[in-house]
């Protein structure tokens, strides 16, 4: 009689061989390579550069390379100088708050002045006192400027001038500057002035009269220390305080629905301005 061969228990069953069990499947990663995923995270964490800074960065890198070739030294200092210059021209992504009447800060920095003044002549606004909010940018701040509201560029005018310290009140009238007037979708006029400072010797403005613009989008750049003034429509109250830090394209400077009453306090109401366009989606 032939001998009967005992059946082999299936892998993983009692008496089976653990070493023959199928390996555990790795956790699902969505099919994405881990290295590519890590590179994507790093790329998203590093802000892009404003195009206006690329020639400056290239010049600093070239100078650092020349010093290294001529002296055989200075590699670390050259890399540091190039990296610092690149950081100055960063243009981080910003998300405007969903407030249709909000006037957003045009720049990163510190609120240095809040005052009632007659707008400068180049803005061609009514010659009556309005609230001016001045944001001072140090050399460590992001130096791109952003549109404060949805609307259309009504005018742009450049004025040459001095290079006084940008935190001085008279810098608004004496320094080199570039002024624009934004006509909002509700018919209000908002003035924004880029002002050069002690170290700032170049103002760049990338919008022209007639351009349709969106709140928070980048429109200009000031190199190496500066100031940006925002002139609110008559009667609109500020929502920031002296010394407050602002984030360009996100911090709300004022709301067009909040007005100052005769006693200088604020309240909610309408300005009586005719609506010239319906609110529409923007990027």
The residues carrying an active-site annotation are: 226
Distance CA 190, CA 268 (A): 19
Distance CA 232, CA 184 (A): 12
CB atoms within 10 A of CB 200: 23
- State the DSSP code for 69: H
Per the document, the length of the chain is 283
Contact 188, 125 (CB under 8 A): no
- Mapped onto helix, strand or coil, the DSSP state of residue 82 is helix
* Angle (nearest 5°) at CA 56 between 53 and 58: 105
**Torsion over CA of 246, 249, 251 and 254, rounded to 10 degrees?**
110
Instruction: For residue 170, count other CB atoms closer than 10 A to its CB.
Output: 10
């Amino acid at each position: 009689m032939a001998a009967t061969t005992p059946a082999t228990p299936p892998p993983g069953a009692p008496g089976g061989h653990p070493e023959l069990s199928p390996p555990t499947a790795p956790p699902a990663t969505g099919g994405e390579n881990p290295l590519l995923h890590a590179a994507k995270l790093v790329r998203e964490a590093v802000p892009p550069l404003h195009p206006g800074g690329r020639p400056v960065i290239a010049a600093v890198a070239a100078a650092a390379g020349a010093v290294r070739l001529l002296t055989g030294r200075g590699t670390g200092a050259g890399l540091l100088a190039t990296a610092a210059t690149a950081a100055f021209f960063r243009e981080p992504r910003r998300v405007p708050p969903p407030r249709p009447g909000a006037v957003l800060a045009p720049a990163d920095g510190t609120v240095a002045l809040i005052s009632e003044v007659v707008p400068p002549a180049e803005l061609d606004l009514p010659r009556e006192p309005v609230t001016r909010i001045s944001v001072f940018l140090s050399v460590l701040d992001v130096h791109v400027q952003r549109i404060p509201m949805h609307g259309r560029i009504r005018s742009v005018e450049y004025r040459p001038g001095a290079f006084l310290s940008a935190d001085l009140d008279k810098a608004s009238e004496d320094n080199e500057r570039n002024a624009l007037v934004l006509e909002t979708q509700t018919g209000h006029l908002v003035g924004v002035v880029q002002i050069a400072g002690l170290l700032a010797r170049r103002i760049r403005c990338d919008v022209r009269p007639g351009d349709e613009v969106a709140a928070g989008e980048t429109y200009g750049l000031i190199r190496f220390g500066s100031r940006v003034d925002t002139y609110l429509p008559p009667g609109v109250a500020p929502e920031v305080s002296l010394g407050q830090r602002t984030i360009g394209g996100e911090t709300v400077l004022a709301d067009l629905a909040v007005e100052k009453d005769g006693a200088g306090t604020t309240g909610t109401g309408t300005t009586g301005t005719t609506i010239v366009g319906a609110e529409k989606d923007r990027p």
